[in-house]
A and B are shown apart, each in its own frame.
Chain A
Amino acid sequence: MKWGNDLSTFVEKFRQYLKPGYYDEFDYHWTMTIDLDRCTGCEACVVACQAENNLPIVGEKRYAQNREIKWIRIERYWEGEYPDVKMGFIPMLCQHCDAAPCEIACPVFATYHNQDGLNTQIYNRCIGTRTCAVYCPYEVRYFNWFTYTWDEPLEQQLNPDVTVREKGVMEKCTFCIQRIRLAKDNAKDDDRRRVRDGEVVPACVQSCPTEAMAFGDSNDPEAKVSKMMKNPRGYTVLEELNTTPSIVYLKKAHAES
């Protein structure tokens, strides 16, 4: 056994972590902004996500049991009563919290924070305790209650870049990590150290017909998201829980009258 070796590497690594500026070397902090003043609740993002990430078609019965899987969903909130009634939409997806409540929950490290600031989920590692989903205040984690199948030949559509999940596994929004990877690979091929702003576009952001969503690296002060985040309308959902989400919403503006 090389316990000794393991220990010394561990100590070495730990020392590295303590070095000031160590974390600055991690280049990216993927962030999304969603402008609720642009969002119309059309749900184009929902289908885009379903197509990109191989989300199952669960069927009517299982939908009735609330077993649907939608990594991004639109929440609806009414305000007031007829005739002064208003509707507010808010797209809800994994917030990729920096202080994620779900991450402490998993006993097997199936969910953890990666170096890009993403809250990742490793399907193969998951044993299905579902603790992460209970802990998640945004309720954006979805569980494979069954092994879902596709009616032939719908399975031909499945995205080969994304795993198809089996029963007993938790899943959630990944910020389209496969697209992030592709962009990083492309950057590497082009001998670029960094991915350009706008090079990574998750499926939901890409599809949004009102351009309500923006995605990018908030460590880059010139990135579109960094500028959007400075908007005075910006806020994070359930701020009081101090989860420090990576999604900044821009509040719906009201007409001045």
Chain B
Amino acid sequence: MFDHGQPSYAEVNKDILSVMLETGPRYWMLLGTTMSVAVIFFFMPWFYQLIVGVGAAGMSRNAYWGTYLSNFIFWIGLSHSGTLLSAILHITNSPWRKSVYRSAEAMTLFSLMTAALFVMVHLGRVWFVHWSFPIPNQMGLWPNFRSPLMFDVMAITTYLTASSIFIYMGSVPDFAAVRDASTGTRRRLYTIFSFGWRGTAREWHTLGWAYTFFAVFVIPLAVSVHSIVSWDFALSIVPGLHHTIFAPYFVCGAIYSGTAGIVTVMYCLRKFLNFERYIGQVHLDNLGKLLLALSLIWSYINMLELFSSWYGGSSFELEALKFKLTGFYAPLYWEMILFCAFVPLLMFFRKFRWSWNKMLLISILINIGMLTERFIIVATSQPRKFLPNAFGFYFPSWIEISITIGSFAIFATMFLIFIKWVPAISIYEVKETLKPLRRDA
């Protein structure tokens, strides 16, 4: 379980808390960088777009949805592994989950927030976004509950709320540990955060069942969220989007990209926060196997999608298929197939599964592939709808590309702030995995 020998309880506390308590200049530089990138690449272009209109992006009559929406799906997808994985592994009692799940859940939260930002960026009149919530208003008008976008609003807010509660609940004992290890303002703050956690048996018991309850609750939720996101597309009748396979396809893709994201984040935590002792070979190996399984499912569904398009034989579907496979964006499509279907096959070999560097590379490639996948969905289907005379083309503008880059910086910023406020590895659950110390040892 531990690559570098088993730490003691005190060492666990010290190792994990030191990340929060000690901050070097490198951190501030990094945070400064990500924040400036976020401002320059994301918020400034967005502000410009607010002033001139969504026309600043590359969308047109041929594709009313563009990179913003594909990024939205990507980030929702990335959010999928964290909470879902954590919950599933919690229920199935997999001990290797314990040093991974906190960061994974944080990823969920932050990806969801980034995704929500993309909805804002996408909207034509974001200043009226509140109209999509069922708020009683002077117009006496409710949102349209038949709209898949309305489902989205519901699903995402629910998921965001549930994930937040889930991660917070699991962190309460750790907040108490921070409280105990700190002084001054921080101590007062964490006293509030920890809800006066004292560590009594009753408290542990309550946390235990509540946490398990939530884990059970979150799993269907997570599955439903991406299913619902997929219905944004599947409920349309646009060729290339109107597939019944879309819900499982999206869910699977989401978990897939999320798991790959976890590998990337794990690598960074281990590398930069010195968590080598807690995140070890076993985690990597397990995640690798999971990724491999997911990649096979993903490839299968992908083939199914192509097959049903072809087998359906309608001119509409065939044309959309042809455009996807051989059109302008065909290189991107085949890049996606390479990265998401073939590269992960390397993980059949232990050599790859056991190497942090190789796994990092694979995980990043998978996410590039998944980012492309989402882009291809919006960019190849809409310009090839029903009336050939209205066929066209979509290419993202610089604003869209910049905002896409900026979104990664926003995610990184949130994550960097997170590691200073919440123990990035669950202290108490890591301790649970330690072998009981004998007096004679």
Answer whether A and B touch in the complex at a CB cut-off of 8 Å: yes
How far does the Cβ of B129 sit from chain A's closest Cβ, in whole Å? 6
Residue of B nearest to A104 (CB): B146
Contact A75 B387 (CB under 8 A): yes
Q: Mark out the residues of chain B between 55 and 70 whose CB falls within 8 Å of any chain A CB in the assembled complex.
A: 55, 58-62, 64-65
Question: Chain A contact residues (Cβ within 8 angstroms of B): what range?
Answer: 35 or more
Residue of B nearest to A75 (CB): B389
Q: Is A135 an interface residue (CB 8 A)?
A: yes
- The one of B62, B124, B385, B390 in contact with A130, judged by C-beta atoms closer than 8 angstroms, is B124
A68 CA / B62 CA spacing, docked (Å):
11
Q: Is A250 an interface residue (CB 8 A)?
A: no
Q: Is A167 an interface residue (CB 8 A)?
A: yes
Question: Chain B contact residues (Cβ within 8 angstroms of A): what range?
Answer: 35 or more
Residue of B nearest to A241 (CB): B237
A-B CB contact pairs (8 Å), 20 listed: A62-B55, A65-B58, A67-B55, A68-B61, A92-B387, A92-B389, A101-B236, A104-B147, A107-B132, A107-B147, A109-B141, A109-B142, A128-B124, A128-B125, A128-B126, A129-B122, A130-B59, A131-B149, A139-B387, A167-B54
Residues of A close to B122: CB separation below 8 A: 129-130
Residue of A nearest to B142 (CB): A109
Contact B60 A65 (CB under 8 A): yes
Contact B153 A107 (CB under 8 A): yes
Contact A145 B54 (CB under 8 A): yes
Q: Is B143 an interface residue (CB 8 A)?
A: yes
Main secondary structure of the interface of B (DSSP, over half): loop
Residues of B close to A168: CB separation below 8 A: 53-54, 123-125
- The one of A76, A107, A128, A130 in contact with B389, judged by C-beta atoms closer than 8 angstroms, is A76
Contact B387 A241 (CB under 8 A): no
The 8 closest A-B pairs by CB, nearest first: A128-B124, A145-B55, A168-B124, A167-B53, A75-B389, A168-B125, A130-B64, A66-B60
- The one of A66, A75, A106, A126 in contact with B124, judged by C-beta atoms closer than 8 angstroms, is A126
If A107-B149, A109-B144, A169-B125 touch, whether A66 touches B61 (CB-CB below 8 Å) is: yes
Main secondary structure of the interface of A (DSSP, over half): loop
A190 CA / B54 CA spacing, docked (Å):
46
A125 CA / B125 CA spacing, docked (Å):
10
Residues of A close to B131: CB separation below 8 A: 108, 125, 127
Residues of A close to B385: CB separation below 8 A: 137, 139
Contact A169 B61 (CB under 8 A): no
Q: Is A182 an interface residue (CB 8 A)?
A: no
- The one of A104, A127, A141 in contact with B125, judged by C-beta atoms closer than 8 angstroms, is A127
Q: Is B232 an interface residue (CB 8 A)?
A: yes
How far does the Cβ of A144 sit from chain B's closest Cβ, in whole Å? 7
Residue of A nearest to B382 (CB): A134
- Give 12 new A-B contacts, CB below 8 A, not counting A67-B61, A107-B152: A65-B55, A77-B389, A104-B144, A104-B235, A107-B149, A109-B144, A128-B123, A129-B122, A130-B64, A130-B122, A135-B236, A167-B124
Q: Mark out the residues of chain A between 80 and 106 whose CB falls within 8 Å of any chain B CB in the assembled complex.
A: 92, 101, 104-106
A218 CA / B238 CA spacing, docked (Å):
29
- B: residues with CB less than 8 A from A are 52-55, 58-62, 64-65, 122-126, 128-129, 131-132, 139, 141-144, 146-150, 152-153, 232, 235-238, 382, 385-390, 392
Residues of B close to A130: CB separation below 8 A: 59, 64-65, 122, 124
Q: Is A235 an interface residue (CB 8 A)?
A: no
Residues of B close to A112: CB separation below 8 A: 144
Q: Is A26 an interface residue (CB 8 A)?
A: no
Residues of A close to B238: CB separation below 8 A: 134-135, 137
Contact B149 A105 (CB under 8 A): yes
A139 CA / B382 CA spacing, docked (Å):
10
Residues of A close to B390: CB separation below 8 A: 75, 92, 139
Q: Is A115 an interface residue (CB 8 A)?
A: no
Contact A67 B64 (CB under 8 A): no
- The one of A104, A109, A167 in contact with B143, judged by C-beta atoms closer than 8 angstroms, is A109
A145 CA / B51 CA spacing, docked (Å):
11
Residues of A close to B144: CB separation below 8 A: 104, 106-109, 112
Residues of B close to A138: CB separation below 8 A: 386-387
Residues of A close to B150: CB separation below 8 A: 107
Q: Is A228 an interface residue (CB 8 A)?
A: no
A139 CA / B390 CA spacing, docked (Å):
7
Residues of B close to A127: CB separation below 8 A: 123-126, 128-129, 131-132
Contact A139 B61 (CB under 8 A): yes
Q: Is A229 an interface residue (CB 8 A)?
A: no
Residues of A close to B55: CB separation below 8 A: 62, 65, 67, 145-146, 167
How far does the Cβ of A146 sit from chain B's closest Cβ, in whole Å? 4
A66 CA / B393 CA spacing, docked (Å):
9
